[in-house]
Amino acid sequence: MANQMQHLVSALADSLKQIEAAYGEEAREIRAKLAEAHAEAAKHEPNGTKLKAILGDLNEAVKSFAALDPAWQAVQRVARLVGLD
């Protein structure tokens, strides 16, 4: 169990770094949920119920973001084309 939690802590930290590098303000909610999950998982005795709830919220945030990402990318491309970046 401890090994699994360490793997989760590491995966959450890596995910947080990747999202921070790839997205700015538009992924604020996801970064906040990842940080919350990371903090809970890194505790000496993490609350499994709380962690599961945080990860469920994170799942929903990622789904919403993923659905909107293609539109956001298109807006950014058009902005660059017309010099608004």
- pLDDT tens for each residue of 18-69: 777 667 666 788 888 989 999 999 999 999 999 999 999 988 888 888 787 7
Structure tokens at 65: 């973001």
Q: What is the pTM of this model?
A: 0.65
Q: What is the crossing angle of helices 28-41 and 2-22, to 10°?
A: 160
The Cα–Cα gap between 79 and 50 comes to: 41
Write down the pLDDT at residue 2.
Answer: 72
CA 69 to chain centre: 13
